[in-house]
Chain A
Amino acid sequence: MKLRWLAGYGPAFVLGVTILAFWELYVRSGQISAEVLPTPIAIVRALIDHWDVISVHTLQTLLETVLGMAAATVFGLLLAITLEISRWSRRAIYPVLVISQTIPIIALAPLLLLWFGIDLGPKVFVVALYCFFPIAVACADGLADAEPELINLLRSMRASRWQILWLVRLPGAMPSFFSGLRIAATYGVTGAIFGEYVGAYQGLGIYMQLSFNSHAIVLVFAAILVTAVLSLLLFGLVSLIERIALPWYHGSAIRRL
């Protein structure tokens, strides 16, 4: 059973190794300078050598990401419910939501710095800003998708609007919600790094900038590697929670504790 699960990732593994091998050879053969594109092996070695410093920045960025995503989830969920409850609010708010995603960080950064300062504030805000949208939209669509027949049934039982929301719409919207959450998880870490560009004492974004300014490109790539791993872990965590929350969605026959 475990073997089959592992085998499922076989092709991805092979593809990954192939790409890395090509990369290593491409740089070693001198086609491109190692100052511009370090080899995978050099990157991993640099990561290990500098782990004591990088781990500090990693933890900072992870903190920003996790807090920002928590805020995004709560806000996105509440927003979706609001959009569902009041149809006119949907027409009024939707365009504003879309616009909120198009504001580039260059414009936002000075404002954030002035309002929130240099601590966690602006980073959490940026992560929340870019993550709440997929969550809110996916969840709102899921809420609206509830079967009308089912709603009728509940109404025949004299269920109130809130009961219908709680008993039928929300649980039914969960698969969509998790869809949105998975998308948000992919962008969470990068969002935190963008937030750090606004101004920060530490964090992977700042580390990348420092390393870049000091011409230590291999460290920039090491930080990118950490970012990638963090994003994968977040993505995996969301999938795990989805499995726990929605066993019925994945065809689990009998309740498992």
Chain B
Amino acid sequence: MNKKHVVVSKAISYFLLIFLALVMLYPLLWMAGGALKSNNEIFGSINLLPKNPVFSAFQEGWGGSGQVSFGRFLANTFALVIPTVLFTVVSSVLVGYGFARFDFPFKRMIFTIMLSTMMLPATVVIIPRYIFFSRLGWLDTYLPFIVPAALGCYPFFTYLMVQFFRGLPMELDESAKMDGCNSAVILVRILLPLCKSAIFSVIIFQFVWTWNDFFNVLIYISSVIKYPVALGLRLSIDIVSSNVHWNSLLALSLVSIIPPVVLFFSAQKYFIEGIATTGMKN
């Protein structure tokens, strides 16, 4: 393979990447520009950059609405998302392991049932679930998010774990078994370290999805003081929308995606690159 070939293909790759990134990110750049514009300029003009940058949008918006600051909304979102993510990981690892590495009566049937629950449109179970949670007194808390996560109600992640586990050769289990380890040890000591990429995928996805959830928080959370950012952002939109400070909305939207972005940026190296060669050589 000659050097020139490699250089050319690299150059092309870079070019494509940058071009595509610009195209994809243009909308976000526009958002950033909008955050610095005055309200009228946003709808008025097409330019990316503001004529006279206005920085007040961030500050205005931060005060939040009424008596609750935007900072509170952010804190709430963390309080909601972190437990949900943790319980999701634990539950999908356990359940995924069960399906991938064990045989038991009716397994195929149960697995199929679990998969088919992924296809259940959420709308159809919303009302019965809502009534159930209200009887338990869990309304206006974050429990309707955390408990389903702990109880494996996100078959997507379980399926993800199953697929990853199945990609790991049984030989690993075998040799550990021969050393006398039981299933739990095999899971924790041997298989889990290899699944870091999958686990981080679960963490990142569940974090982002829960962070962005709108409909569920809308029906379950009714006190403003417990609002996560998804609801906090919409709080200022009135029926008469010209009272809306669009620039604040855009500014705060940008702020609200910073935590997931930071998480992603820092975690991605770990889960994608760390996997390299551990345990794969036979």
Query: Do A and B belong to a common assembly?
Result: no
* Chain A positions near chain B (C-beta within 8 angstroms): none
